[in-house]
Amino acid sequence: MRQAIVRKPTPNFGNGLTTSSLGAPNYERALEQHQAYCEALQVCGLALTHLEPDERHPDATFVEDTAVLFKGCAVVTRPGAASRAGEVETVAMALTQFFPEIERIQVPGTIDGGDVCEADNHYFVGISERTNEAGAVQLKNLLASFGYGCNFVDIRGVADILHLKSGLAYLGDNRIAVIESLAAREEFLGYELIRIIPGEEYAANCIRINDSILMAKGSPQFASTLAGLGYKTIQLEMTEFQKMDGGLSCLSLRF
């Protein structure tokens, strides 16, 4: 990976969508955490494109949901929440600088990028409250045209996760970090599963960037497990984004 697209939260960040009961986010603290996140991306070797903050859309800092990126193509999504529809155009414009081909999810399909997990040449797509089957089929067909495989993972009814990547992350090396409620899914047969203990589920939304894994602070057993497997980790405070159903992957588009 060499590039990432990010967008700072706005003062009305707390007006965004959330199912969390952790309370309202502290805006100044969110800015500090976002800055530390951006610095970590740069430490990992990524050049950043900063989009203008967008007060019209308080969830717009979660740029990952607006696109799915793979070699040769960017797919602009249709977020599953109607209030987020206006976020996609500025992201699409930024992507034209880097991708020769831009595709779009069409009505009646919806997809949030947080439901799409890349595992080398294979993709897992979560069917969720935000990503419907029509959108998932469109994405699967686009991926197939570029030679990528795809499986759907229905997470409707799985407690306490909004998106598929709220509950799992591909670590490379044929390994998936996964919460217990997803670990038995047949879609993950053939992978080495790194199970995340109850109480540390938020750590499942981690991201591997080149030789490092970014993870949220506050999950010592998962951090110890990663260290034991030889991974270099960068632990970041994510408390204010957790309050808004967001995680590490949500805050950037990486390619």
Q: Which of 34, 38, 163, 206 is catalytic?
A: 163
Over its C-alpha atoms, the chain yields an Rg (Å, rounded) of 17
Q: Give the distance between the most distant pair of CA atoms in the chain.
A: 46
Q: Give me 149's structure tokens.
A: 């495989």
Annotation marks residue 163 as catalytic: yes
Annotation marks residue 250 as catalytic: yes
Q: Give the chain as a 3 state SS string.
A: CCEEEEECCCCCHHHCCCCCCCCCCCHHHHHHHHHHHHHHHHHCCCEEEEECCCCCCCCCCCHHHHEEEECCEEEECCCCCHHHHHHHHHHHHHHCCCCCCEEECCCCCCCCHHHEEEECCEEEEEECCCCCHHHHHHHHHHHHHCCCEEEEEECCCCCCCCCHHHCEEEEECCEEEEEHHHCCCHHHCCCEEEEECCCCHHHHCCEEECCEEEEECCCHHHHHHHHHCCCEEEEECCHHHHCCCCCCHHHCEEC
Q: Rounded to an integer, what distance in angstroms lies between the CA atom of residue 86 and that of residue 207?
A: 26
| Residues with catalytic roles | 163, 250
